[in-house]
Structure 1
Amino acid sequence: MEYAGIDEALALVAKHFRGMTDKDGEPYVMHCLRVMMGCRESDAQLVGLMHDLVEDTSVTLADLRSQGFTDEVVAAVDLVTHKSGDSYAEYVVSIKSNPLAREAKLSDLRDNFSINRVLYREPVRERDLLRMQRYVLSYQYLSDRLDETSYRRNMARVEDVSAS
């Protein structure tokens, strides 16, 4: 059986992110492409390309299955989809044990805190700084530079500050 690959993933991303822009006004699809290109393994590239589809569009995991993506790719896309009821720390901890999701999320984090993409927006400066802290802590955890206990403790501090 032939499974869906990069052509099908590109078509989905192009269709569903058409006209959407990031906080800087750039086409959102470019973020998806950069995340894909930051992954080495081909299935991780698929996950990286589609990492925001389920979270930010009407595409569902069932849609991905019916399009012919492998169970492994769909499971990894599910993991990199941040569900509204989950804290960011819980979401990131759940990703770590899945190699495809982990590689795609590390690439996503690298792109999100790339110096070219970090905006300094005076009206929301504090919120942006907290988001950057969250990204850096998550990257450190997923790349084994921070243990889970330290990660959770530091993320709780970031979340406490953002809640106040």
Structure 2
Amino acid sequence: MPESSLPALAETIARRAHEGQNDKSGADYIMHPARVAANVSEQGGSEAAIAAAWLHDVLEDCAVTSSDLRSTGIPQQVIDAVISVTKREGEKIEDYCARVRANPIGLMVKYADLADNTSPERTALLEDAVRTRLAEKYAYVHSLLAS
């Protein structure tokens, strides 16, 4: 597959997988991966990184598996990045962040994900208690990723 078609394929998969989902504020969920992908692109991310950004939540939040991604033509490098940012049930946050740090594409995607999750435009729509809890959580994750 030509590399330039990779982000478009990833976007199509993400849009189908997240169809009908809403974020914590009630907005159409696909806007989150779209912003993360745009952030990765603006940071000079590769086509593989942009594709991983589009797909970063599909394994965690949708009925999609890594085998599904592979069967649609997503390269293993992208799948590995998506796996690196996918939280596992019962996993300690420190172990999760160590896995993210070990994958350069995953790390770039996670930083873009955190930037979107903590953007004033998004957090302003949340209740105060939720905003405070998430700010503390994301600050801790950011510190673990930077260590």
* Bin of the TM-score, shorter chain as denominator length: 0.7 to 0.9
SS of 1:28's equivalent in the other structure is: coil
Distance in 1 of aligned mates of 2:17 and 2:88: 19
Out of 135, 139, 142, the position equivalent to 1:139 is 142
| 1:128 Cα deviation from its structure 2 partner | 4.0
Q: In the aligned structure 2, how far is the partner of 1:23 from the partner of 1:77?
A: 22
Aligned to 2:71: 66
| CA apart distance, 1:31 | 0.2
Give structure 1 stretches of 5+ with no counterpart: 148-164
**Aligned length in residues:** 141
The percent identity for this pair of structures is 30
Q: Counterpart of 1:83 in structure 2: which amino acid?
A: R
Q: Which of the numbers 34, 52, 61 marks the counterpart of 2:57?
A: 52
Deviation at 1:134?
1.7
- State the Cα deviation string for residues 81-119 of structure 1 (Å, max 9, x = none): 101121222211210021100000000000001111114
Q: Larger C-alpha radius of gyration, 1 or 2? A: 1
Instruction: Tell me by how many angstroms 1:139 deviates.
Output: 2.0
Structure with more contact order per residue of length (Cα contacts < 8 Å, sep ≥ 6): 2
Task: Report the Cα distance in structure 1 between the residues aligned to 2:144 and 2:90, rounded to whole angstroms.
Answer: 21
CA change 1:29–1:120 in 2 (3 A) is closer
Residue 114 (1) aligns with residue 119 (2):
yes
Aligned to 1:161: none
CA pair 120-64 structure 1, distance change in 2 beyond 3 A: closer
SS at match of 2:119: coil
User: Quick one: distance in 1 between partners of 2:138 and 2:70?
Assistant: 30
Corresponding letter in the other structure for 2:127: R
Structure 2 residue 83 is matched with structure 1 residue 78: yes
RMSD: 1.7
